[in-house]
């Protein structure tokens, strides 16, 4: 299926590895030009080289990169100094740490809210009016299955991302919806990335079990009996960014191998 977005410009945040990189890869393969962002210049540059190799054969796709902390005003200014007229924005940053809510002070909460709620809102604010004026726009926020099915040790994520989800539910249904701009959240369950491996390493150290033993138990809890891949995640993101998905807005799209047990 031709997704109809070749030649568009996408900003993909948190894209040096993991789910963000999966999204950038899927978009580049569709001929979308991308600007990828992450903090560490070296890994980011290697990711950009990988994307350039992926885009070989595409008439359109250009790959730019910007090493910046997207959760800061300075980081966002550095990105928008490169270009600001994006047709597609994939918001993403590292998830907050796990822990016991009793140990989280105000600063810890502000950091989580900044990264996982206010940063996507700032990125939406900076781009949607231009998208609306041009008659086409796609925002995909990478959030978490924890928004639907909270995980106790991920309280910072549950809280901050639920705030974003509420905001998106409103703004997606604003007049932007009639101007060709869709805003959706993509909710990963368990995907095989450094983040997942890091969380499992933490749990393994705490419980005295091996990471592999914990991973086996976790896989058994998922109806698909496996973790998702960044490629699968990227493909869903690219579809949400496609011309075909113009009637999907304000939605929370769950990709979790069937782990969420509800009917809806
Ligand atoms: P990851 O750690 O593999 O990759 C995160 C990417 O974001 C990296 O490129 C990193 O450099 C970049 N990044 C982190 N903080 C940044 C910042 N402040 N500014 C710019 N770039 C930044 O993580 P992932 O597994 O790809 O997860 C992506 C998001 O999805 C996270 O918020 C995570 O909490 C969430 N999530 C992941 C899973 C999963 O199973 N992998 C499940 C639920 C939610």
Give the model's confidence band at 8: pLDDT under 50 very low, under 70 low, under 90 confident, else very high.
very high
Ligand 1 close to Cβ of residue 195 (< 6 A): yes
104 CA → ligand 1 middle, Å = 21
pLDDT band with cut points at 50, 70 and 90 for residue 134: very high
State if residue 18 touches ligand 1 by the CB under 6 angstroms criterion.
yes
Is the pLDDT at 60 greater than 80? The verdict is no
Whole-number Å distance, alpha carbon 94 to ligand 1 midpoint, is: 4
pLDDT for residue 190: 96
Prediction pTM value: 0.97
Ligand 1 atom with the smallest distance to the CA of 230 is: 26
Report whether residue 33 contacts ligand 1, using a CB cutoff of 6 Å.
Answer: no
How far does residue 1's CA lie from ligand 1's centre (Å)?
28
Cβ neighbours for 223, distance < 8 A, ≥ 6 positions apart: 257, 258, 259
Q: In the structure, what pLDDT confidence band is assigned to residue 56 with cuts at 50, 70 and 90?
A: confident
202 closest CA partner among 151, 161, 164: 151
Q: What is the pLDDT of residues 158-182, one digit of tens each?
A: 999 999 999 999 999 999 999 999 9
Tokens of 191: 């995907």
- The mean per-residue pLDDT over the stretch 138-167 comes to 97
Place of tokens 């390493």: 201
User: What's the average model confidence in pLDDT over 81-92?
Assistant: 98
Atom of ligand 1 nearest to the CA of 18: 26
Residue 2 pLDDT > 90, yes or no?
yes
Query: Best substitution site from 44, 72, 95 to test ligand 1's pocket, by max atoms within 8 Å of Cβ?
Result: 95
Share of the chain above pLDDT 90, in %: 91
d(Cα 261, Cα 264) in Å, to the nearest integer?
A: 9
Residue 89 confidence (pLDDT)? 99
Strands 88-91 and 137-142, by their bridges, are: parallel
CB-CB contact of 33 with 48 (8 Å): no
Q: What is the whole-number distance in angstroms between the Cα of residue 173 and the centre of ligand 1? A: 27
Helix then strand then coil, % of the chain, to nearest 5: 50, 15, 35
Task: Check if 190 has its Cβ closer than 6 Å to any atom of ligand 1.
Answer: yes
- Ligand 1 pocket residue status of 194, Cβ below 6 Å: yes
How high is the pLDDT of residue 217? Answer: 93
* pLDDT attached to residue 203: 87
- 224: Cα separation from own chain's centroid: 22
Query: Is 48 strand, coil or helix?
Result: helix
Q: Is 186 in the pocket of ligand 1 (CB under 6 A)?
A: no
- pLDDT-derived band at 124 (thresholds 50, 70, 90) equals very high
pLDDT class of 32 with cuts at 50, 70, 90: very high
Instruction: List, as one string, the DSSP characters of 122-155.
Output: HHHHHHHHHHHHHT-EEEEEE--GGGTS--GGGH
């Amino acid at each position: 299926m031709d997704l109809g977005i070749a030649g568009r410009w996408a900003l993909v945040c948190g894209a040096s590895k993991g789910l963000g990189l999966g999204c950038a890869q899927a978009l580049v393969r569709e001929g979308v030009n991308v600007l990828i962002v992450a903090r560490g210049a070296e890994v980011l540059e290697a990711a950009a080289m990988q994307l350039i190799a992926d885009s070989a054969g595409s008439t359109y796709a250009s790959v730019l990169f910007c090493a910046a902390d997207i959760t800061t005003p300075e980081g966002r200014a550095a990105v928008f100094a490169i270009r600001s007229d994006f047709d597609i924005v994939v918001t993403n940053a590292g998830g907050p740490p796990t822990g016991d809510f009793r140990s989280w002070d105000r600063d810890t909460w502000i950091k989580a809210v900044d990264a996982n709620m206010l940063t996507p809102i700032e990125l939406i604010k900076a781009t949607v009016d231009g998208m609306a004026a041009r008659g086409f726009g796609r925002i995909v926020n990478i959030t978490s299955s924890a928004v639907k099915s909270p995980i106790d040790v991920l309280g910072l994520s549950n809280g901050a991302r639920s705030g974003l989800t509420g905001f998106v539910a409103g703004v997606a249904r604003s007049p932007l919806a009639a101007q060709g701009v869709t805003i959706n959240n993509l909710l990963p369950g368990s995907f095989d990335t450094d983040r997942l491996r890091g969380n499992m390493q933490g749990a393994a150290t705490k419980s005295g079990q091996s990471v592999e033993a914990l991973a086996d138990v976790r896989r058994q809890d998922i109806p698909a009996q496996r973790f998702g891949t960044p490629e699968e995640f990227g493909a869903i993101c690219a579809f949400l960014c496609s011309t075909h998905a113009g009637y999907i807005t304000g939605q929370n799209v769950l990709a979790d191998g069937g782990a969420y047990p509800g009917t809806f």
